[in-house]
């Protein structure tokens, strides 16, 4: 299972006695004022007994250098990865101390540095997940530029970034909605459309009702496919049907949910899977896969390291590909699809900036469906 040991404890430590203006070292000081010219408010990870805790700091307002853009962040969203960072599930000694949490955010351009040509003041933008993965296949350098837990994080009233690290957001989306796109939506979109070559009428399997899977459901339905989604909750499955699911299965009530999924396809099997479950789901998802199907290897909610029955892939002429979010070029292609189909993300709940720690705790509780947002 994913290491869940004690990741809530950093929140609890900050928890009941938490003030949003707790400073580093846990000293309660004067309230930190919202942005006022020279300074801004920004959350940072700080070491805790186990993992990290969130601390709100007042820091100098960044300035845009040559080629850089200043963005007033209006909303950010959470991904499972952000919880994993808080709990230090990825290991690494003090890897995120002083880093700004969260990869995903959207806002308005408020200043541009010299030689900036891609953006102007007033533009509505979102950060791209990898600040330096612009187009084509990734490089080691591009993959090192992932946002979150470092200076590229988004949980800050104002951020500075190279102009290449942003995309324009679809006009019909609010900032809250656009803030959900950079990681979960793009991962689902790349898995289904770029790698899976989505076609109308295909059966598509989504596992659970978290961020990636609900985007997969919404995208597949918008493309005229037949999404089938699993969940531990019948209530969430009912809501999934309202979002356009073709069929559903409760993986908690039915441990052999893959049989139910195949039956829902009339025995054909699913043409595509976004596998976010990992160790406990991948083998079962392959049992539900159709001839010539595609499985996107995305997540490890139940842990990684599945024993993949490679022969089962071979016998049915299936393909599998690893997906690690995507490039700016992919993000722009996804935005074109979102605009064309007027797709709207499913936001479960919006928290205020001062209650950021509640958003993390809410995600850990597991009652959410789709995305959790923090408004700035």
Ligand X SMILES: NC(=O)c1ccc[n+]([C@@H]2O[C@H](COP(=O)([O-])OP(=O)(O)OC[C@H]3O[C@@H](n4cnc5c(N)ncnc54)[C@H](OP(=O)(O)O)[C@@H]3O)[C@@H](O)[C@H]2O)c1
Q: What's the token pair of residue 368?
A: 């959410």
Positive or negative, the Cα torsion across 361, 86, 212, 183?
Answer: positive
Helix (H, G, I), strand (E, B) or coil at 354: helix
Residue holding tokens 């490679």?
A: 310
Residue list 115-154, contact with ligand X (CB under 6 A): none
Rg of the Cα atoms in the chain: 21
User: How far is the CA of 44 from the CAs of 107, 150, 154, 279, 291, in angstroms?
Assistant: 19, 9, 10, 32, 48
Residue list 206-235, contact with ligand X (CB under 6 A): 207-212, 230-233
**Does 277 sit near ligand X (CB under 6 A)?**
yes
**Does 205 sit near ligand X (CB under 6 A)?**
no
**Does 79 sit near ligand X (CB under 6 A)?**
yes
**Does 280 sit near ligand X (CB under 6 A)?**
yes
- Residue 230 CB, shortest distance to ligand X, in Å, is 6
**Does 276 sit near ligand X (CB under 6 A)?**
yes
Nearer to ligand X, 58 or 231 (CB): 231
Closest CA to 166 of 151, 189, 150, 182: 182
- Residue 285 CB, shortest distance to ligand X, in Å, is 10
Single out the residue of 96, 189, 251, 351 in contact with ligand X (rule: CB under 6 A): 251
* Residue number of the CB atom closest to ligand X: 210
Q: Mask 35-54, x = binds ligand X (CB under 6 A)?
A: --------------------
Nearer to ligand X, 217 or 223 (CB): 217
Pairing, β 104-112 against β 52-60:
unpaired
**Does 303 sit near ligand X (CB under 6 A)?**
no
Single out the residue of 222, 301, 346, 356 in contact with ligand X (rule: CB under 6 A): 301
**Does 281 sit near ligand X (CB under 6 A)?**
yes
**Does 275 sit near ligand X (CB under 6 A)?**
no
Q: What's the token pair of residue 257?
A: 């949910």
Closest CA to 330 of 217, 200, 218, 191: 191
Percent helix / strand / coil, the chain, rounded to 5: 30, 25, 45
- Residue 53 CB, shortest distance to ligand X, in Å, is 20
**Does 325 sit near ligand X (CB under 6 A)?**
yes
């Amino acid at each position: 299972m994913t290491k869940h040991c004690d990741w809530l404890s950093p929140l609890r430590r900050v928890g009941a006695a938490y003030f949003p203006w707790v400073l580093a070292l846990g000293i309660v000081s004067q309230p930190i004022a919202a942005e006022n010219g020279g300074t801004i408010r920004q959350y940072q990870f700080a070491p805790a007994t186990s993992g990290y805790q969130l601390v709100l700091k007042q820091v100098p307002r960044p300035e845009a250098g040559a080629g850089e853009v200043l963005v007033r962040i209006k909303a950010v969203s959470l991904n499972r990865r952000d919880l994993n960072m808080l709990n230090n599930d990825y290991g690494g000694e003090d890897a995120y101390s002083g880093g700004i949490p969260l990869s995903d955010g959207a806002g308005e351009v408020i200043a541009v540095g010299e030689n900036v040509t891609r953006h102007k003041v007033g533009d509505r933008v979102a950060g791209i997940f990898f600040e330096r993965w612009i187009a084509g296949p990734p490089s080691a350098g591009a993959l090192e530029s992932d946002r979150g837990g470092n200076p590229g994080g988004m949980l800050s009233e104002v951020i500075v970034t190279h102009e290449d690290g942003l995309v324009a957001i679809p006009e019909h989306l609010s900032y809250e909605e656009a803030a959900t796109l950079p990681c979960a939506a793009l991962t689902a979109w790349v898995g289904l459309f770029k790698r899976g070559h989505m076609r109308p009428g295909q059966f598509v399997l989504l596992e659970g009702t978290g961020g990636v899977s609900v985007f997969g459901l919404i995208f597949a339905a918008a493309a005229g496919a037949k999404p089938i989604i699993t969940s531990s909750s019948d209530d969430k499955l009912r809501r999934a049907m309202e979002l356009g699911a073709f069929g559903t299965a409760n993986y908690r009530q039915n441990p052999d949910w893959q049989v139910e999924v195949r039956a829902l396809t009339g025995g054909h099997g699913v043409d595509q899977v976004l596998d976010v479950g990992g160790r406990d789901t991948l083998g079962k998802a392959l049992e539900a896969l159709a001839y010539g199907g595609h499985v996107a290897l995305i997540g490890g909610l139940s842990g990684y390291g599945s024993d993949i029955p490679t022969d089962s892939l071979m016998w049915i002429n299936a393909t599998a590909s690893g997906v690690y979010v995507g490039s700016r070029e992919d993000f722009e292609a996804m935005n074109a699809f979102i605009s064309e189909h007027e797709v709207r993300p499913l936001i479960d709940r919006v928290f205020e900036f001062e209650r950021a720690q509640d958003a993390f705790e809410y995600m850990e509780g597991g009652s959410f469906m789709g995305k959790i947002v923090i408004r700035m």
